[in-house]
Amino acid sequence: MEDIACLGFDNAPIGLVVTRYRLVETCNDAFAAMFGYEAAELAGKSIAALYPSNREFVDLGERGRAEMRSGPLYRDNRIMKRRDGSLFWCQVHGRSLGEGDVFAHCVWSFVDLSHQRRVVELTTREREIATLIVQGLTNKEIAARLGNSPRTIEAHRSRMLRKTGARGTGELIAFLVGLPG
């Protein structure tokens, strides 16, 4: 049975990674290739290198930790970074396997969404807000979560509308989730 489990992990059509305290314990080839690495290169490395910025690594970690404290599962769509520095949308699902610290031991799946969503040049804060917009949060809810005013969030949203060419919030959300415009 163990050989079948390893065969399934190694050959899964999506990226799979097992982490301990946000360090790669093991990953399959699909995960490594998605980010432009060989699986052996990632073993023992921090997953921070796969995020567009250290701030996003920390902020998404805090958000994930808070959510996983109420249950072992976490999921979101986020922008990640390949080895060559290019950014792409990724669907992430995780499960905490540890007691106490939710990041003590986790298993994660990653699906590359670049065929559905293109990435435009957004600032770190705009990427963070885009992730929350896709989750359906209002400006007021985003502001409360990020410690900003709703007007600040509206200013970021307006800049994202210009950058994406969207004519309103509905088109912006459609763009961010990869729906045809």
- Per-residue pLDDT of the chain (181 residues), as tens digits, is 468 878 889 999 999 999 999 999 999 999 999 999 999 999 999 999 999 999 899 989 998 999 999 999 999 888 899 999 998 889 999 999 977 899 999 999 999 998 877 777 788 888 889 888 888 889 999 999 899 999 999 999 999 999 888 888 888 888 776 655 5
Write down the architecture of domain 124-177 according to CATH.
Orthogonal Bundle (1.10)
Q: Please give the CATH number for the structural domain made up of 2-112.
A: 3.30.450.20
DSSP letter (8 states) at residue 165: T
Q: Hey, which bits of 57-126 come out as E strands?
A: 73-81, 87-96, 106-112
58: CB partners within 8 A, 6+ apart: none
- Which tokens belong to 112? 């590359």
Edge-to-edge strands, sheet with 23-27: 23-27, 15-20, 106-112, 87-96, 73-81
- How far is it between the farthest Cα atoms of the chain? 56
Sequence ranges of the domains in the chain: 2-112, 124-177
The answer to whether the pTM exceeds 0.75 is no
The pLDDT, as a whole number, for residue 159 is: 92
DSSP-assigned states of every residue in 134-164: HTT--HHHHHHHHT--HHHHHHHHHHHHHHH
